[in-house]
């Protein structure tokens, strides 16, 4: 698995004067205010800040889930706000792996089938999908748990399945929103070690939102969001 991009010295992620506002009836709610940010390929960046500071919104803009009100979001060689909905969905499937606090596994599917889900959107054969899933599960240390359902797994194992699902399509970027927020300290530490391995050994670029200063120490760099403004 590689980081999937070869654009020389261009930053993998480049935001220029990005503003995000939401409208609630006639009221405009500002969330992000003029964010400018560059992230290099292979970097592990932590985003911290109080609830409501805009961390998840920023993550969603970079991951192509949301669009800015103003400014430019350029990731993996594409200006995301210039893409229509179908092209953005295709870009997201190719380039971004998502890791959530609450795992978002489908309870009626085994670990194998949960991890396989992103590959069902590709043209890979069943045998090729199996090779990819087996590799992803081995990367997260769950080789023997592929036929277990989420209810048969611990919280830490569920998050490992979620991480395997995020990396199975070999994305350019991993976007993690509070990946240790629902785990005890032991399992949280194991997930942080795993993320660091994915960064160091596979060269995966990782953006992680966290409230935990210890989790942030796993990253190469930490930035803080406060009232929509990005600070060192």
DSSP class of residue 216? H
Q: Is the pTM of this model over 0.85?
A: yes
DSSP H or E stretch at residue 60: helix 55-62
Which domains does the chain carry? 41-59+88-231 (3.40.50.300)
Q: Each residue of 13-64: pLDDT tens digit?
A: 999 999 999 988 889 989 999 999 999 999 999 999 988 889 999 999 999 9
**Phi/psi at 93 (nearest 5 deg)?**
-65, -35
Whether residue 122 is predicted with pLDDT greater than 90 in this model: the reply is: no
pLDDT of residue 43: 96
- Asked if 9 and 42 touch (Cβ cutoff 8 Å), the reply is no
Whether residue 6 is predicted with pLDDT greater than 60 in this model: the reply is: no
């Amino acid at each position: 698995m590689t980081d999937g991009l070869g654009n020389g010295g261009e930053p993998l992620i480049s935001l220029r004067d990005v503003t995000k506002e939401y409208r609630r009836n006639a009221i405009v709610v500002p969330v992000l205010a003029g964010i400018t940010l560059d992230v290099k390929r292979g970097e592990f960046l932590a985003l911290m800040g109080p609830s409501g500071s805009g961390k998840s919104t920023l993550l969603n803009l970079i991951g192509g889930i949301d669009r800015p009100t103003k400014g430019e979001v350029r990731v993996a060689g594409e200006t995301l706000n210039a893409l229509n909905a179908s092209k953005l969905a295709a870009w997201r499937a190719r380039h971004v792996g998502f890791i959530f606090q609450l795992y978002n596994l489908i309870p009626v599917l085994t670990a194998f089938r949960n991890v396989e889900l992103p590959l069902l959107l590709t043209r890979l054969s069943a045998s090729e999908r199996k090779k990819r899933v087996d590799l992803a599960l081995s990367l997260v240390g769950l080789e023997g748990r592929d036929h277990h359902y989420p209810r048969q797994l611990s919280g830490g194992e569920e998050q490992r399945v979620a991480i395997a699902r995020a990396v199975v399509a070999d994305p350019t970027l991993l976007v993690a929103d509070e990946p240790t927020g629902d785990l005890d300290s032991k399992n949280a530490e194991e997930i942080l070690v795993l993320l660091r391995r994915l960064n160091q050994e596979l060269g995966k670029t990782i953006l992680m939102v966290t409230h935990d200063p210890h989790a942030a120490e796993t990253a190469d760099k930490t930035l803080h969001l406060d009232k929509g403004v990005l600070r060192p």
